[in-house]
Amino acid sequence: MKLSLTIDQVASLTEAVSVEGEAEARSRVLMGIAALADASAEDLSFLANPRYVEELASSRAGAVLVATDHPGKPLAGQVYIRVTKPSYALALVCAAIEARLWPRPAAGIHPTASIDPKARVDATASIGPGCTIMADATIGAHAVLEAQCHIGIGARIGSESWLKPRATVSDYCIVGSRCRLQSGVVIGSDGFGYEPVGERIERIPQIGNVELEDDVEVGANTTLDRARFSRTVIGRGTKIDNLVQIAHNVRIGRQCLIAAQVGVAGSTVMGDGCVLGGQAGVSGHLQLGDRVKLGAQAGLFEDVPADGFMNGTPAMPFGLERRVAVLARRLPDLFKKVDSLAAALDSVRKSAP
């Protein structure tokens, strides 16, 4: 991946507070991005985590994004680009590269796409090869559907949303503006609803939908189930990783982060700003307040008030769970001591007159 960006261009993209370094170094053209330990004189790197300060001291990076209050000075032939938040500054550079690598396709409909006459596709949208758009579906301005996307009956795709190949938005589901769905995403699969009737298990029709508010992003092969009735809702700005399962009638708040392989069972309600670590599991019909955090692989079976931090299975407050984990490691020694004391007590009893 080639950058081909000057120091001044990087400074402009990142809204740098200042640029430090020798004039010759500042004229360099940067050709790549690399970690501090791996970077060469043609690479841009960054320091966002203090644990890598020692690597900065020996890094050969031609330019480094550092915080405005970083106390060090650039090495000979090196440039410091001082920014408010180095990690976000690097993201801005990557966004510029992304726009070069994957430019927005030209507006238009590929001849192999199948579009129902009753569908409404904005003239500025881009519809890729093999896409299917069903009756009464709506595709908004500047939306992009890459190859083989399926948009169901009455579904809506908001303006500037981008669907990667083979994404599915099922019947009557709604995707807001500026959303991004990775390959294999399914929005609106049937909820897991069944009812035992005698010796049979009968399917319960799932007649609700899924609604993604604006600026939601969903990772590859993630599934969001349609509601049994009413709506499954994903709040504005929420980001969902790969291989996540969100069940029917779940409501997730705004600006939440949900890592890979999380499962959220039906009718659970989650507040704004929540963070769920990888492989966390949330039982159904629970209430999670704003800014709740779940550690990786946590198994949650109870409501959590705002600002709660839970860990472990069954999940408990983080501090308590850590103490329990430490004590659990001492159990083998404790049992040995108990066995030793029991043996000593038996010996005393046997020797008693």
Is the distance from CB of 146 to CB of 106 less than 8 angstroms? no
Count Cβ atoms below 10 Å from residue 30 Cβ, excluding itself: 23
Query: What pLDDT, in 10s, does the model give residues 206-259?
Result: 999 999 999 999 999 999 999 999 999 999 999 999 999 999 999 999 999 999
Count Cβ atoms below 10 Å from residue 24 Cβ, excluding itself: 8
Is the distance from CB of 322 to CB of 304 less than 8 angstroms? no
Can you give the pLDDT at residue 1? 57
Question: What mean pLDDT comes out for the span 339-348?
Answer: 84
Can you give the pLDDT at residue 343? 85
Can you give the pLDDT at residue 314? 93
pTM over 0.75: yes
Indicate the average pLDDT of the chain: 95
Can you give the pLDDT at residue 93? 95
Most confident of 2-6, 50-54, 121-125, 344-348: 121-125
Q: Which of 70, 150, 248, 285 is catalytic?
A: 248
Q: What is the DSSP string of 152-193?
A: -TT-EE-TT-EE-TT-EE-TT-EE-TT-EE-TT-EEEEPP--
Query: What pLDDT, in 10s, does the model give residues 60-113?
Result: 999 999 999 999 899 999 999 999 999 999 999 999 999 888 899 999 999 999
Question: What mean pLDDT comes out for the span 142-157?
Answer: 98
Can you give the pLDDT at residue 352? 72
Comparing CA positions, the residue from 248, 255, 202, 194 lying closest to residue 223 is 248
The region of weakest confidence among 21-25, 58-62, 93-97, 342-346 is 342-346
Can you give the pLDDT at residue 344? 83
Query: What pLDDT, in 10s, does the model give residues 253-287?
Result: 999 999 999 999 999 999 999 999 999 999 999 99
Is the distance from CB of 163 to CB of 186 less than 8 angstroms? no
Judged on CB neighbours under 10 Å (0-12, 13-18, 19+), 75 is middle
**How far apart (Å, rounded) are the C-alpha atoms in residues 35 and 48?**
11
**How far apart (Å, rounded) are the C-alpha atoms in residues 225 and 216?**
16
Catalytic status, residue 248? yes
Query: What pLDDT, in 10s, does the model give residues 176-213?
Result: 999 999 999 999 999 999 999 999 999 999 999 999 99
The region of weakest confidence among 52-61, 288-297, 341-350 is 341-350
Can you give the pLDDT at residue 191? 95
Q: Is the pLDDT of residue 35 over 90?
A: yes
